[in-house]
Amino acid sequence: MGKSIEEIFLNLESEGLFDENKTIYLLDLPNESMLNRIALKPLENEVFVFARGYNDDLRIGTTFDVIFPRKQIDDYLECTIELKYVSVNPKYDTDYLPKGYSGICLLKFSKGLPVQMLSKLANYDEKKDFLKHDKLILTQKKGFNKLLNVIKAV
């Protein structure tokens, strides 16, 4: 029996595929109480999410060009997504998402919000149902194409 897509993904991830490409993982959606602590309000095509970057500090202004659900890689979308704002802690501001940290990030989607894709994210306070919910991964086409090629080859 061949490897599942998930196993392939995890292998490539462990081998550092996403370390070579700016990548951010969307975990879930912040609750209203958290958002009330942030003066900024999302404009059109913008959304607040909880995100974590693993491979690098991610500066405001960083862009990604692919978004996909971790467990359904085929459902990917190509669009430019910009990191517009980061808040790791309600008591201070940073202009980047530090490596390894989770923070509230404001993302701007160039082609409109992918509502269906974003609906896979659970709310922060919600008990996660891993059949229904998923993480979303934002990365670069180069790295993503490599992932697709490996999957096709298996």
Partner 1 sequence: MFSSIKNVGLCGCLVLILGVCGVSAPVDMPPSLLFGGSAQKFEIDRGLDQDQANIQILDDFYKSREIDDEFTNTIKEEIASYGLGYLQGRFRLGLGIGNTFAAISSGFCANKNNAATDFCVFWAQCGLLINLGMLSASSLDLLYAKLSKSYNELPKGSFEGTNQKILEDELDLKGSIVGEGVHWAGKITTTAELKTFLNTIDETTTITQLEQKGIKSFFRGTTRSKADNSLFPGNLNTQVFGISTSTDPIKATIFSIESATSNGAYKGVLQIGLPNDLKNIALSAPNYRVAKELEVVLNTPASNFANLSKVEISVENARKLVKEVYGVDLPTNLPRSYADELLETIPESSLDKAFEFYQKAIQYNIK
Residue numbers at the binding site for partner 1 (CB under 8 A): 9-10, 13-14, 25, 27, 30, 33-34, 36-37, 39, 50, 52, 54, 57, 70, 87-92, 94, 98-104, 124, 128, 130, 135
List, in order, residues 6 or more apart from 49 with CB less than 8 Å away: 26, 27, 28, 29, 30, 104, 105, 107, 118, 121
Query: For residues 19 and 78, which CB has a smaller minimum distance to partner 1 in the complex?
Result: 19
Nearest to 60 by CA among 69, 73, 51, 68: 51
Query: For residues 61 and 100, which CB has a smaller minimum distance to partner 1 in the complex?
Result: 100
Q: Is 52 helix (H, G, I), strand (E, B) or coil?
A: strand
Which residue is it, tokens 């894709």?
A: 117
Name the minimum Å distance from CB 133 to partner 1. Answer: 10
| 110 close to 42: Cβ distance less than 8 angstroms | no
Name the minimum Å distance from CB 59 to partner 1. Answer: 12
Query: For residues 78 and 95, which CB has a smaller minimum distance to partner 1 in the complex?
Result: 95
At 107, list the tokens: 């993302």
Name the minimum Å distance from CB 60 to partner 1. Answer: 14
Query: For residues 45 and 94, which CB has a smaller minimum distance to partner 1 in the complex?
Result: 94
